[in-house]
Chain A
């Protein structure tokens, strides 16, 4: 095969049985790889009502056809499973080099089943695959685990692992690779921990083949040129990173502040990308095959928050910053480092601390509940300590580890959890930006921005400007972005390539690489297929139209301050049109016609 390697690795962690299967070319053609292929396998093999932290859940690691080639900024992979935070299908996307290395080892998919009897790690060296004892690694943080594994497998190996957070089943624990890159959301790290799997180390000596070399080189060259020349992807991201978004979101009144109590934070600039570049940035970083280099190599010298590594990204700076009422960049970056080292999703961690801070400020929880942690708004030290405690599973961290929805429910106030389907909403206020609110409410993994990033047209004006406060045209816009993103996520490409190229460009590269002819429409259709399959899964897991919702604060409490003062989210108004655009019935279920059209019937 070209592009794909043609093989699936299946590991039964309980029995230790390791087997190789052929990748069905038709499945590869229809679902591409990564998120799409992983979801299809989950659909075929796992009961959507399974307990996510039980051995019956499966954990899938899958790169895409582009991964391991020089399709620009396209070396990514997905971790696919049933997410313990939400109970939905979960596919968490990550960069770094791990995904490409799986391809070089000859694998398109790795399926992990059951549960190992004791802490273990998987060592994949081309065709030689072994399960090894990881007792000496259990309890170690991500950087230490990674370095120890380089030592005992190969200096050339790539490692995906969990930190103490995943081991302790924090519901938003992440899987980290190359120490600094995260498959962050929905608790995929907890699933890995529940299987007693500490890490996967992989090294490959094989090559990814290309069907039409000249056409592929030309298509990649053209795509690279467009990305580099685009004013947005070409320079901005390398200079300031994603954190450059803080100020524009704040200026339009859409920067969620103090747990989404409002959308404007007066001192936001102190944690924005410009401040980050001036104070902490060491150098930009890029994932495998990346030409954009949005990664931030950073360092904090302030002895109180000393550390180094990568980040913070926009969502991270927001989550530990304005969402908690904090403007101390050193503290924010330290919290980011804790998340990388202990293996925690920064968005859900930030959102959970923010919820706890609001409850503390209202006296719903007290110092007794927090075991002495003073979670007053703006207390940066306490925020950083809250993160650390969550990662190591101590003190109040054990409750924070449940995520904001379960935490707030324990104290009788689930309405103070700023989540959709129990996953924390990221850094864009639904009352200030109508389309992103619709995306949060309808997203198959709950509160998620990336999979339907309408901020691009609604705030940035890329590719064209939509009025953020309008509802007209938003259902169509959201559905289109969701479909295209699902296809991109399934191909191995990074979403930031969308600042530059479109469906036709991905299709051209994919066709030349794989030898399978895709048009731009075919590419988007793959994405629509994946989206609908995720929806079917969730429907079977018991999710209904009632779950396509936002917290009441978003729909009922007008924004109190800032440039978007007075607005509410009109997500309920947009929902019927969204279902219609999607080809679903009034209950949000894909119709027979839609399923037949997507060959999902």
Chain B
């Protein structure tokens, strides 16, 4: 089975350790604008959501990529980026509906999550488990079960 980087926004504290780990892993320093993961914060409500490439099966980015710098590997389930082939047209940035790919002027490449060779630095550093590197078949089981529990409790209440 494949693995996926699962987001649990209810556990996110907004600490951005993921951005730091990603930047150091890929850039060698703490340039968080080059992070492939970005945390959005709603400060009034004290809520945050991390976002990164979702490695789409029918990836819009790879569809529009003329030089085939972005291609999907069916074995790994990842959309791979080959900077050598990239012509910097930024059509992928235009195409991605999630905004999960970005152009980095400093390096002259696009930034997208590559799951760090099967050991994502962001999931490793996340202090609360808001980012989880999980078996894609099981990734949402806890969430599904949590809602199932609410249903179970509702029935128990109705019966008593």
Contacts and interface: CB of A to CB of B under 8 A. Distances in A.
A70 B125 contact: yes
Contacts of A206: 31
B127 interface: yes
Contacts of A213: 24, 28
Nearest to B32: A104
A287 B15 contact: yes
B30 interface: yes
A284 interface: yes
A492 to B, nearest CB: 12
A104 B47 CA distance: 23
A308 interface: yes
Contacts of A100: 32
A178 B13 contact: no
A283 B29 contact: no
A289 B17 contact: yes
Interface string A286-304: 1111111101011000000
A161 interface: no
Interface residues of A, number: 40
A569 B58 CA distance: 72
Contact of B10 (A97, A207, A283, A298): A283
A297 B45 contact: yes
Interface string A186-225: 0000000000000000001111111001000100000000
Interface in A176-191: 178-180
Interface string A224-265: 000010000000001000000000000000000000000000
B46 A310 contact: yes
B43 A289 contact: no
Contacts of B46: 180, 282-283, 285, 295, 297-298, 308-310
Contact of A295 (B10, B13, B20, B28): B13
Contacts of A419: none
Contacts, number: 99
B15 A289 contact: yes
Contacts of B30: 68-70, 207-210
Contact of A217 (B23, B24, B31, B45): B24
A87 interface: no
A209 B31 CA distance: 8
Interface string B115-147: 000000000010110000000000000000000
Nearest to B10: A283
B57 interface: no
A287 B46 CA distance: 11
A92 interface: no
A190 to B, nearest CB: 23
B44 A97 contact: no
A179 B29 contact: no
B21 interface: yes
Given A70-B17, A207-B34, A293 B41 contact: no
B131 to A, nearest CB: 13
Nearest to B48: A285
B29 A291 contact: no
Residue from B11, B15, B24 having most chain A Cβ neighbours under 10 A: B15
Contacts of B125: 70
Residue from B16, B34, B46, B47 having most chain A Cβ neighbours under 10 A: B46
A490 interface: no
B17 A143 contact: no
A290 B127 CA distance: 8
A556 B44 CA distance: 45
Contacts of B14: 285-286
B118 to A, nearest CB: 19
Interface string B1-23: 00000000011011111001101
A485 interface: no
Contacts of A287: 15
Nearest to B15: A286
Contacts of A316: none
A100 B35 CA distance: 15
A-B interface, 7 closest residue pairs, ranked by CB to CB distance from nearest? A207-B31, A297-B46, A286-B15, A286-B13, A291-B127, A179-B43, A70-B20
Given A290-B17, A293-B13, 19 more contacts: A68-B32, A69-B30, A70-B17, A70-B24, A70-B125, A100-B32, A179-B44, A204-B33, A207-B34, A210-B28, A213-B28, A282-B47, A283-B13, A283-B47, A285-B46, A286-B14, A287-B15, A292-B127, A308-B46
Interface of A: 68-70, 97, 100, 104, 143, 146, 178-180, 204-210, 213, 217, 228, 238, 282-293, 295, 297-298, 308-310
10 contacts: A69-B30, A205-B31, A207-B30, A210-B24, A282-B46, A283-B13, A286-B127, A291-B127, A309-B44, A309-B46
